[in-house]
Each structure stands twice: as structure tokens, then as C-alpha cells.
Structure 1
């Protein structure tokens, strides 16, 4: 009797394999979020860095990615289940993309070294967040509504890239005919983004293998794993780019977004669907092995220029008004020139005594006699300088600030909320049914 109770306690206390995998998935997601946050802060701190420091940082990152590629390739050969293999395959693909783009950026820096510095003010970069990603699917009506023999299951993830900033989302699996859309819970944050940026979203998919039963099928799997461990070291050394290792994710669709697509709300964008892979069985079409996409992707893309929250220039300005001169502490930030009677009022977080808009419509010019004029419509302000170098410095930054307001378009006119990656405290359901009229549209459309 005691033995039975002991066995029962041991059985009840043993964690389920699926729960263990979900716990590992949450831990991996938290690690990715923390890594993205550190990478964004690192890139933002490099705004004023010299080309030599940026080049050294890129070399270090390339070395890290190459080590990650080699380590992931060895890990794939020792994977015990399909989930581990899929995660490792995704990591391997993204690491190759990052290393290639970093090498390209490194060559650009080397070619541009020695160029003369610009005499104009430094343009304002921005933080960019991508969130609320949702990919509608379009299953055939007979596959979606009826209990057919279609047992296809897919693993899906999205890669977002701006130059060498390449981030991947959580791997969503399994995606089968019961799923109407794929919802991605991740928030991706990009740093040091110029106004002419182009962000490319790439959707990758992999058709998962059918689950094998236990018992007699377990023995061949153990044999394969033993062989993999034995020859793993030799194989990883012989494969140059590790392209033949692990599950193959195919690029099935992509879209390129720009500043014009930024908005406070979620917007829908048309996907460019790639052609189906011709490598398939003779009795099946290529589309049978591809995730059935609706042709659209929903996402929220928001941009916030750094100059909206960070001070561009500050100091004492002498304002001339009605023939009288008055020294005031000034700060150029958030598309306006704020003025206080003295610096102590600003330090006390008091409201400015005067705010002068500095936008695309503002006229800024050197009026001569060491006078700088700022005009909005019929209102004109004049500032007197005793030092021409100080006048030139304020003139450059004011003109640059007005140009930034024009370049950032709606991101300057409408203050958007840029989300930051947060830690995943609980495993969220990666997808859900869409309770809207769009589901009826999915069901009514029957592709032949």
C-alpha cells in the first residue's frame, strides 16, 4: 500500500512533457524580449558614436552571430522533439540573415570613412515600434467547415528588418485548418531610424511533420539521435554555411512599409505572396504544401522622433521685443522653442513663459546685425547675439528642427505611442478565432 502511494505521488509530481515545453517557451520568449530591449538601447546610444566605434561594435556582433550559427547547428543534431528542432531552425535562419546584413553594413561604413563632416545640424532619428501583427488565413470551405482528412500543420513566424536591425517574432505552432488567423503577441522596437526608413516584414512558414506514435517508432528515433550525436561534430565542421541542417522555413509572403504607413491605429497592408516551391510530390500541387494566406497582414506601426522627448539645444537667449531686451533660458524640443525667465523655473518643471512653434511653416533667418528672427504667420520674434558662433549654432539647429518636422510628416503632427517590449508573465494563446464578418468572408470564398 505504501509503495502504491509512493508511486502515485511520483507520477502526480512528475511534470507533463507538454507543460515543460510551454514553460521553456515562456522562458525563451522572455530572453528574446530582454535581448531586443538591450539591442535597442545599444543602437540608440550609438547615434553620436564615431565610425571607428560603430565598426568595432559591428565586428563583435558578427562574431557573436557566427558563434550562434555554429552552436545552433550542433544543437539541431541533438534535438529530441519537433518543437526544439523548429525553434533551432528559426534561430539558425535569423542568425544567418543578421550576419549577412551586418557584413553589408560594415562594408558601407568602411567605404564611407573619411567623408567630410556636414555643416548642418544633426537630423533627428526616431524610435519605431511594430505590434499587433495578425495574418488572416484563407482555408478552403470544405477544409474549414467539415471534418476532412486535411491534417496539414504549419509553424509560422515573422521577421522584421530595417538594415542590420533584424528581429524575429515568436514561433506560432501548430497552425491548422481550425485557425482563421495567426496573431503574434510580440512588440518589436527599432532604434535610430531615419525618416526615409523602409521596414520589410517577411512571413516564414514550415509544414510540420505528422506526429509519430510511440512504441515501435521510438526505437528508430533513438537510433537516429545516437548517430546524430556521433557524427554531429564532423558534420558541423564540414558544412560551411550550415544550410542543410534542420527544418527549412520558406519565405511565403512579404511587404515593405514606410513612414506613410505609420499610424496610431492598426492598419491592413497587402502582402506580396511568393510563388510556391516546385519541390513537391507528383500527386500534389505546390500550393498544398503552403500556408493558405488571405493576402493581407494587419499591424500597428508607430514612430516617435527622439527630438520630441529629448532636448535638441538649450541656453540663454536675449529676446528683443518693442525695443527692449530680455535674457531668457531657452530650450528647443518637441517642435517648439520654450523660454523661461530663468533656468530655475525650468528645473522646477514649471510651464514656459513663452512657447514659439518651430515647424515646417516657420521662417528662420539671419536678419543681419547679429539678429536671429523666427516668424510664424504674422508673429515675429527677434533674438540678439553678441557671439556670431552662438548665433550660427542656434540658426543651424532651428533650421534643422523645422526640416525634421517636414520630414517626419504625420509622426511630427500626431504624437504616436511607441510600445516597448514587456516581459511575458504568462503563456498567451498565440491565435484565436476572429469573431467578425471577416470569418463569414473566409467561409464563403472557396478556392478551387
Structure 2
């Protein structure tokens, strides 16, 4: 069947494109991993960790999409479409653009923290990941403390391939920014202290063994970690703090409020006192409003009618 063969070739093309995207994000992730291990400034480390989180999320989304395409190819080989159904693409509604902007997340500080400025100053770095299908975008990173009443993201994000049944997932990630995130700071400090007590020769060997590798802050010639059990990637870690999902029913002309599902609690170092809602503008525009969907000649046939009866 020509339609099935054409559909299969189209899926092969998209599969190759998705695979290229996966390879690109893997290279980006490796670069972020190396950058994170080499960072000496807190802001640099937080930005590198943000890039690492974004790349990892994109890789997972692309792999899921690739798996879905593989399953679709298998299904086409074992099933045939109904002869009178017609090409499926001709009967599907067109896709469109979805834009989200003016993202605001209100905070609910205790009176003693906000008005009286008492208690320990808690500061976190936050950003949002927004996913619609295989399209994933991140916002700018914002540093949040008790001087802010709202987390504000000024980015306007546009998704270009949204179907009418789209689901836009918004995820808020947070990381405590008060720790020292310089590259291998803790192992290096320990090595410095040990070297002074072990002597110059032994201390020099110890410091060399504890120098961070590309993706490991404490390595021993590429072998097992020396002395300290550390994560494979040093530096800050972002954690999912809250999320929500928006759909076509949430599209409005005005600024609207949506409920958040909160993942963390007060015991977490990355915790922020969220009010439990998110405000934003969500707009959608079908491609048929701005693009030509169909062209050609239209033939009509009119019945001849008498002017006199």
C-alpha cells in the first residue's frame, strides 16, 4: 500500500531526526558535566547544573518520542488501515502555536521572616522547565530569598508544534544556593589539611589523586574514588519543587491562576514556602490562521433553472 509505505518513510525520517537531537543533547550534557566539575564560582556552578538538568530532561523526552515512533512502525507492519478510512493525516486537525508568558509564583513567608526580617536567611536558585511533547524550554535562573513576594520569570516561551490535545507541563526546580559549590571544594580542603600532616611528598601525591576529573570531583587515575564517596557529578543539584499541567481548556485572553502540585516539604534544603498557585498568560493559535493549509482549483456545477415559472 503506497500510503503505508509513505507513512513508514516519514517515520524513518523523523526517527533519524530525533536520534540526531539525542546525540546533540548527550554532547551538551557531557559539556555541562565537565563545566560543572571545573566551576570555581557559585553562580557558574548553578547555571551549569541548570544546563545539566535541562539536557537530561530533553534526552528522556527524545528517547520516549523515539520509542513511540518505533512502536508505530511495528504496528504498521502488523495492521492495515481500513480501506474506506482514508489517509489519517487528512482527517486530523492542524497543529498550532502555544505561548506562555508572565509566569508568576507567589510565596508565603512567615511574618517574622518577611516583615521583621528575622531568622536565618534562606536563599535558593530556581528555574522552570516547560515541556510540550518533545519541545522543552527552560527559563532564566532566579535567586529567591525572603525579600521577594513572588518568583517572576519574564521569559516568553513559544511552542510551535502543539496539537489540540496538548499537555503543557510546567516544572519548578529549586536548589539551595548557600553551600560552597566550587569545584571539589570539600575534597581539596581535606587534601590540603592532610598534606600538611603527612608531609610534602605524600601530601603532593594525595592532592594529585584528589584532583577532579571531567565528571568526577574525586578520582584516582580514572579508577575508584579515593577516601571520600562523592556523586559522579560534583556541585549543586536541582530538585523538583512543584509542577502543574496546562491544556487547551486553560487558554484565556487574560492573566489566570492555576493550582500547583508541591513535591517538597520544609525539611528539604531546597524548600520555599509556595502559596500553592501559579499565574501566567497562556495563548494558542492554530496554524490555519496564519498558514495556507490547502490550495488548488475548485470546480462547481450549478443546475440550470428557468427564470420563469
Q: TM-score range by the shorter chain?
A: 0.7 to 0.9
How far apart are the structure 1 equivalents of 2:146 and 2:189?
Answer: 30
Q: Which of 246, 250, 262 matches 1:257?
A: 246
- What does the per-residue CA deviation read over 1:204-230, in whole Å, with 9 as the maximum and x for residues that have no partner? 111111689xxxx9x959979x86993
Q: Which of 129, 135, 142 matches 1:159?
A: 129
> Contact 2:37/2:214 (CA < 8 Å) preserved in 1?
no
- What does the per-residue CA deviation read over 1:382-431, in whole Å, with 9 as the maximum and x for residues that have no partner? xxxxxxxxxxxxxxxxxxxxxxxxxxxxxxxxxxxxxxxxxxxxxxxxxx
- SS of the equivalent of 1:65 reads helix
Task: Tell me, yes or no, if structure 1 residue 119 matches structure 2 residue 87.
Answer: yes
> Contact 2:215/2:234 (CA < 8 Å) preserved in 1?
no
Task: Tell me, yes or no, if structure 1 residue 59 matches structure 2 residue 19.
Answer: yes
- SS of the equivalent of 2:117 reads coil
How far apart are the structure 1 equivalents of 2:232 and 2:251?
Answer: 36
- SS of the equivalent of 2:212 reads helix
Higher relative contact order (CA 8 A, sep 6+): 2
- Return closer, same or farther for 1:234/1:66 CA change in 2, 3 Å cut-off: closer
- Return closer, same or farther for 1:292/1:238 CA change in 2, 3 Å cut-off: farther
* 1:17-416 equivalence runs, <5 A: 50-113=10-73, 115=76, 119-120=87-88, 121-123=90-92, 124-173=94-143, 175-209=144-178, 220=189, 230-233=211-214, 235=216, 244-276=233-265, 286=267, 289-320=270-301, 323=304
**Long gaps (5+) in structure 2:** 1-8, 194-206, 225-230
> Contact 1:88/1:246 (CA < 8 Å) preserved in 2?
no
- SS of the equivalent of 1:80 reads coil
1:250: how far off?
A: 1.1
How far apart are the structure 2 equivalents of 1:233 and 1:294?
Answer: 40
- 2:227 corresponds in structure 1 to none
- What does the per-residue CA deviation read over 1:126-146, in whole Å, with 9 as the maximum and x for residues that have no partner? 111111101111100110001
> Contact 2:37/2:212 (CA < 8 Å) preserved in 1?
no
4+ long deviations beyond 6 Å: 221-224, 226-229, 236-239
- TM-score normalised over the length of structure 2: 0.75
**Long gaps (5+) in structure 1:** 1-48, 277-284, 325-448
- TM-score normalised over the length of structure 1: 0.53
- SS of the equivalent of 1:94 reads helix
- What does the per-residue CA deviation read over 1:28-55, in whole Å, with 9 as the maximum and x for residues that have no partner? xxxxxxxxxxxxxxxxxxxxx8111111
How far apart are the structure 2 equivalents of 1:157 and 1:184?
Answer: 8
- Return closer, same or farther for 1:233/1:183 CA change in 2, 3 Å cut-off: closer
- SS of the equivalent of 1:129 reads strand
- What does the per-residue CA deviation read over 1:261-308, in whole Å, with 9 as the maximum and x for residues that have no partner? 0122221101011142xxxxxxxx516751110111011111111111
- Return closer, same or farther for 1:78/1:229 CA change in 2, 3 Å cut-off: farther
Q: RMSD over aligned Cα, in angstroms?
A: 3.1
How many residues end up aligned between the 2 structures?
260
- Return closer, same or farther for 1:199/1:77 CA change in 2, 3 Å cut-off: same
> Contact 2:129/2:138 (CA < 8 Å) preserved in 1?
yes
> Contact 1:204/1:251 (CA < 8 Å) preserved in 2?
yes
> Contact 2:112/2:119 (CA < 8 Å) preserved in 1?
no
